Every structure is written in structure tokens, then in C-alpha cells.
Chain A
Amino acid sequence: MKPLLIRGGRIIDPSQNMDEIANLLITEGKISHLGREKTPPQSGYDVLEAQGLIVCPGFIDLHCHLRDPGYEEKETIASGTQAAARGGFTTVCCMPNTSPPLDNQPTVDYVKSKAEAEGVILVLPIGCITKGRRGEELAEMGELASSGVIGLSDDSSPVVNSRLMRQALDYSRAFGLPIIDHCEDMALTEGGQMNEGIISTKLGLQGIPAAAEEAALARDLALAELTGAKLHIAHVSTEGSIGLIRCAKEKGIRVSAEVTPHHLTLTEERAIGYDTNAKVNPPLRTIKDIEALIGGLNDNVIDIIATDHAPHTEADKLCEFALAEFGISGFETALGSLMSLVHDGKLNLYTLIAKLTYEPAKILGDKYQKLGTIALGSPADVTIFDPDKEWVVDTKDFASKGKNTPLNGSVLKGKVMATIFRGKLVCQDNSLKIETLG
């Protein structure tokens, strides 16, 4: 592999407090030079002209669904990782709600070997909290930890039994793995289809109240305080949750939190007309919630942004609203959606990149300290994007098998131009030129 010079881009790397125009050289899959010098220290390399583009560490997604094994009609590790690469992601963490679920070493090994064979980026599996995600007995967390999972979650099926949740938190402490918590009081959400509010009243759909998330969150924050375990809150969606997490952090509870691009940019009004592509759990909320979530990102109540990429087939969504699956295919629209917050002056670009790179790497822990950075000597996982390029979302172009997004046909401003994984271009916009020099 020839060395690759990325020339003249604006390099933003929060891990190094860096935001400047500079050149980046990749040699043998590693960052070998980073600086302003006009001439790189060697010849015989490819040049990627990055003037006007942002160059940053590859994005890390702590929450996605790759559906393999068991639901390969929705997504496979091949299609899912290609979609992730198109979204600028070089590391994705996949949830264990597959069939069979990732609750033991062989299933985790299957995902890892499949990712090795057909994935184009790094896939880090998440293991189950309970066997079969049934909320009855703890999964063998020690074995899961040694097989390389980066966290434990029964995502989509919260652990209803409070005592078992306490024990899960306690038991996980020995392995330093976070419990990734889907906060939902199932009794309050039973039959729910969308946010409970005037739109659910108008549409005649059963509502999902904000209190269902907040009640479950309050319980688990109390249990995290009781046990001292590491708790990571998945897909925070309400203003009330922001208040609860802020309090918990002030008290010193070991909690981190994520928010999705769709909860940051779309409201419940998307469901009007019964668009099943806007059906997601937790549901799209209100403009007040969005403002609180953005506030939470800016003052670090929310640590990271994660997509909760949840691909489904056309048939899963082409049906009555109440029968449609929950979920949005999110990899390929994430950056374009998030850049609207930057263009609207609600979030600065540096913070956005930190929430997609350095901050999620911190949650992954010391073992993954080489991720989320383009410091000299790091693996060359690099994302290059044009912050101002406008494009029309067309799900026919998606690499993901999941075409389920309410954004089809929308214009987004901000587009990934190239994704580099371990020095190799895994995705590249047609307009990007790479020349061979010397």
C-alpha cells in the first residue's frame, strides 16, 4: 500500500486539542506525519487534496444494530459496515439483540469472525446482560468480557426486575464493562406507538410518555449509585432525562449518556400522515426536548452521539402504523443531519467531532485508547467530510439494506467524502480526486 498524503484539510482532532489547516500522511496503515510542512518527508505517494474539507479521526458509533445473525434480510455485517463507512464511521459497536442473541462466547466469536471476513471497518460487539435477553438470569459476563465485548446491554428489552438489574450492575464491576441501559418502563409503554402528546391524540395512536423513560432512568441511576458500577444511558430522548443525568453527574455517579441524530433533529410531527419510517423507540419527541438534548450535548451531560442504526425491510414498515417495527436506518444520514445543528449555530463543529470520536473512545476505555485519535502512530482511521456540500437523501443509494428513514428526499448539508480504515480507503465520494505523485 502506497503512502497517502491528505493535503491542506482543516484537521480537527479533539484528542489532541487540534483545529488547524495541516497535512496528514498515512504510511502502512498508521498516521506517520501530521503538520504544516509543505513537503512530506518522502516521495512515491498518493495525494488527496482536502482544501475546504474537514479531516478528523474516524467516527465511532457505540450503538447500532447489524442484525447478523438471524435477521440477515434486514442487514448483514457486510452491508451494515459498508453503510457505516459511507457515514464516516470506522468503528461500530453492535447490539446483541440478534437471533440467537450475543449472550455467550460462540455467538460473539461468530460476529467477530464475520466482521473480520466481510466487514470493511472495525466491529466491536456488545454482549447481553441476561441470558437470551429474557431478564431472568445474568449472562456469563466473565466469558463475554474475555471474548471481547465492550459493554453489556439487553437493548430494546430493559431489565424489568430491579433486583436483577442491581445484581447485573454489581457483577459487571469486576470486568470494568459498562452496562448500556435502554431505559423504558414497559408497563407505561405497553401498546405505545409514538410520543404521548397532542400529535398522538390527533392521530389516535397510543402514546409513549416521557415519564416511561424517566422513571426507568431514575431507578437505574439510583442502582448505579448503590453499586458504583459504570452505567451508560442509551438514546436519551427527553428533557426530564437530561435533568436526571445532570443531577447524577453532579453527585459523582459513574454515568455516561448518548443521544441519536434523529432525536436531536426530528420531532414527533414526523409521524403525521402515519409515516412508519418515523416510528422509533424511544419515539421522536418535541422541540422542547430537542433543545434540552442540544443543551445537554453542549454542557457535557450527554457525552456522545450514537446512531442507534436500526435497519428494517420494506415489509416491516409497509403496514399499519401499530404493526410496523420500531427503528430508523441511521448510518448514512447521521453526519448530514448533525451538521444542521452546526449550520444553525446550535453546536460547534469541534464539539460535534469530539462527540463522535474522542468521547466514545473514552467510554470504550484504555484498551481502545488508539481509537478516536489521529495522533502520530495511531491506526489510520480517518474521516474526511465537506461541511457545506448539499445532497439529497435517496435510499436507493444506501449501502444499508434498511431503507427505513423519514429523511428520504430531504436535502442535507454536509457530506462524507472519504472514510479511511487502517490506511485503506473504504468509501469515497465520486468527486474526490486522488493523484499519484513522485
Chain B
Amino acid sequence: MMTTPSKDDPTLLVKTEKPLATSVWSHRHILGLEDFTLKEIELVLDTADTMKEVLSRPIKRVPTLRGKTIVTLFYEPSTRTRVSFELAAKNLSADVVNLSASSLSATKGESLVDTLDTLESLGADIVVMRHPHSGAPYIAAKYLKASIINAGDGWHAHPTQALLDLYTICAHRGNLKGLKVVIIGDIKHSRVARSNIWGLTTMGAEVTVCCPFTLLPIGLDKEQHHFPKVSIQPDIELALEGADVVMVLRLQLERQQGGLLPSLREYVKLYQLTDSRLKKAKAEALVMHPGPVNEGIEISPDVAHGPKSVIAEQVTNGVAVRMALLYLLSRGGE
């Protein structure tokens, strides 16, 4: 996977051994991983390798997207995802415009569709969108000529986060086939968990989710064709048994007020990833977290900063993966 820079794109200005199999790419938008095939995910990861090479240069900038306008449209506060996209776009020489909830007319009663119309008129080529309501990017995809990248919608999906997670695991383990991945935390309200379940299972990993039943969405353990089947294990020590990868999710502190948890104290007691619990996992296990981390809540500080943690790498890889996605989308019509 580390050997696939592209020779068919001079704007990347790199020498190549094997061309990227861009013919498998069929997406005009990136809305969720449920419509990604194994080959498409592999293409993203291979392309991200090429971008990682670009990022290792002294001048991390290639002219690939020169003249393209990329809008980041964020209806929810976010620092790392927005900055990651902005850097990715700038590294590819695109023009970037950032719109966030405070600057949007939504506060003045403008509907999403009206805002999208305006962006269309302004000539955005790619819109990177974060929205508190599930499915909002689907409206954008329906009404805009621009390509849409879902940067997180409600509880539904966060495909670029899942792809960077897959990339990070592959960088350490080569591939995902047969790996045991445990996701611990608020699965019900997590778009990161949903996108990862799609991506991980498509790549051949076995997924176990671990959480109180109040934070578990319905139907995950039943055989059906709408969503991948995962194992459910509410006991963290049993869940961690033999794990190759442990993903910890951020706990939204307001879940207690919603009556979903009796107290943060009990959550910490039952579900915090601690060093002693982590011993149940494999010796070479990776610890991941999509950030931002509540240290001392869902994960103990020594684990978050310990030898198994790849949390910082996830952030670096995020830029490469997002560059790969912008590149693949911009080539969509070719």
C-alpha cells in the first residue's frame, strides 16, 4: 500500500511505480461509507499514501486543485476537522472559503436550501459540510452541482474520520482482515462509530461495541441487510479480550442529564479505558480516539498518551486522507 504514487497526474509532481486504480472510483459526493466498496476504500488509502509523501516534502504544496473553490460549511462548532480540511485543500492549491454557523444566515432564519442556492451561485466546486441533523448533506447533494463531502451529520456519518482511522490502522497492521476492533462509548449518538462500523466491516474486521445499553442503538445484533452485524459486549474487560484495535469515543457530558447515565462517576468506573483494562487486549493493540479527548472520563491520561496510543497520528493522517478525497472528487468527471 505504501508504493502507489500516481504517474498519470502531473500536478502531483511525483514519480510512480504503480498507477492508482482510479477507474474504480464512482463517487461524485462522499456522504457515507455505506456506499463504498472495498476497492474504493483501498483506492482512498492508496491515494492517501501518495499525499503523505507530498506532506513529507519541505514545501508541502502541489498545484492539483489550482483554480478550484472549496467551501467549508460548518453548522456545528469544530476545530480539528475544519482545519484539517482547510490544510488539505490549501496543500492542493485550492481556494478555500470558510463559513461557520456564526457567520451563516441560519441565525437570521435562512433555510439550508437557500444557503445552498447561494453557494451554487457563488460557484463552489466542492462543499465540505458539517451539520447537526442527520441527512443534511443529502439535501445538498440533491440540490447542488458541487461535490459534497460530509464532514459529520448528526448521528449518521463521519466518513472522512472513519477513512483516516482505517488508514491509521493499515499503516500499522498492513490490513484489517480478521482484526478484532472494539469500539467503546456512546455508540447511539456517534456518527464516528457508525461510519467506522461500515468501513471496518467492509475491510474484513470483526467489530465489537461496548457501552451501557442506554447508549446502544437498536437492532445492531440482529441479522438483517440494512446495517453490518456487530457483537455487543457491555462488560469492558470481556470486550477487550484479544482486541487488535481499541477505539474510544468521546462521551458528551450532557448524556447524564438526559437520563441515559446515572452519573459520570459510574461511567468512569464501568467504561473508562485504563491501563489495567488495556492489558486484556493484544500486546500490539492500538488505542484510537477521534478527539477531542475527555481525559479522565472515557480514557485515562496514561493510556491516551501511552505507547499504544496513535491519537496524534490520526490527526496527521487526517490531512493526507482528506487531500486524497479532494483529489479523487476533483477527478470525478474525467
Contacts and interface: CB of A to CB of B under 8 A. Distances in A.
Given A202-B227, A204-B156, A205-B155, A320 B135 contact: yes
B241 interface: no
Q: Most chain-A Cβ atoms within 10 A of its Cβ — which of B131, B133, B156, B227?
A: B133
- Interface SS majority for chain B: loop
B131 A320 contact: yes
Contact of B154 (A197, A207, A315, A322): A322
Contacts of B222: 198
Nearest to A271: B135
Contact of A323 (B133, B191, B217, B226): B133
A197 to B, nearest CB: 6
Given A204-B156, A204-B157, A205-B135, A319 B113 contact: yes
Contacts of A408: none
Contacts of A202: 34, 194, 226-227
Given A204-B157, A205-B155, A207-B218, A320 B136 contact: yes
Nearest to B219: A198
B153 A198 contact: no
A198 B113 contact: no
Given A202-B226, A204-B194, A319-B112, 14 more contacts: A198-B218, A198-B226, A199-B226, A201-B218, A201-B220, A202-B34, A202-B194, A203-B135, A203-B156, A204-B153, A205-B154, A205-B156, A320-B112, A320-B135
Interface residues of B, number: 26
A180 to B, nearest CB: 30
Interface residues of A, number: 21
* Across the A-B interface, the 6 shortest Cβ-Cβ residue pairs: A204-B156, A274-B135, A204-B155, A198-B219, A204-B134, A320-B133
B107 to A, nearest CB: 15
B111 interface: yes
Interface string A297-320: 000000000000000000100111
Given A198-B222, A201-B227, A322-B134, A274 B139 contact: yes
Contacts of A203: 134-135, 156
Nearest to A322: B133
Contacts of A201: 217-220, 227
A204 B138 CA distance: 13
12 contacts: A197-B218, A197-B219, A198-B218, A198-B226, A202-B226, A204-B155, A204-B157, A205-B154, A207-B218, A273-B138, A274-B134, A318-B139
B139 A319 contact: yes
A198 B226 CA distance: 7
Interface string A163-196: 0000000000000000000000000000000001
B232 to A, nearest CB: 12
Nearest to A206: B155
A198 B224 contact: yes
Interface string B157-194: 10000000000000000000000000000000001001
A273 B222 CA distance: 22
Q: Most chain-A Cβ atoms within 10 A of its Cβ — which of B34, B131, B135, B218?
A: B135
Contacts of B217: 200-201
Contact of B139 (A197, A199, A205, A320): A320
A382 B24 CA distance: 59
Interface in A278-336: 315, 318-323
Q: Most chain-A Cβ atoms within 10 A of its Cβ — which of B113, B134, B222?
A: B134
A204 B136 CA distance: 11
A267 to B, nearest CB: 11
Contacts of B111: 315, 318-319
A119 B139 CA distance: 37
Interface string B106-140: 00000111000000000000000001011110110
A205 B133 CA distance: 8
A321 B135 contact: yes
Contacts of B227: 198, 201-202
Contacts of A198: 218-220, 222, 224, 226-227
A205 B224 CA distance: 18
A320 B131 CA distance: 10
A204 B190 CA distance: 8
A321 B134 contact: yes
Interface string B219-234: 1101010110000000
Contacts of A196: 218
Contacts of B226: 198-199, 202, 269
B218 A204 contact: no
Nearest to B134: A204
B160 to A, nearest CB: 16
A7 to B, nearest CB: 49
Contacts of B219: 197-198, 201
Contacts of B131: 320
Contacts of B113: 318-319
B276 to A, nearest CB: 32
Contacts of B194: 202, 204
A295 B263 CA distance: 46
Contacts of A321: 133-135
A144 to B, nearest CB: 37
Nearest to A269: B226
Contacts of A199: 226
Nearest to B190: A204
Contact of A204 (B112, B139, B191, B220): B191
Interface in A199-236: 199-205, 207
B179 to A, nearest CB: 23
A204 B217 CA distance: 9
Interface string B247-266: 00000000000000000000
B127 to A, nearest CB: 16
B261 to A, nearest CB: 17
Contacts of B34: 202
B174 to A, nearest CB: 30
A315 B156 CA distance: 23
A321 B133 CA distance: 7
A287 to B, nearest CB: 12
Contacts of B191: 204
B185 to A, nearest CB: 15
A269 B226 CA distance: 9
A285 to B, nearest CB: 13
Contacts of A197: 218-219
A200 B216 CA distance: 12
Q: Most chain-B Cβ atoms within 10 A of its Cβ — which of A198, A201, A274, A315?
A: A201
B66 to A, nearest CB: 34
B213 to A, nearest CB: 14
Interface string A104-141: 00000000000000000000000000000000000000
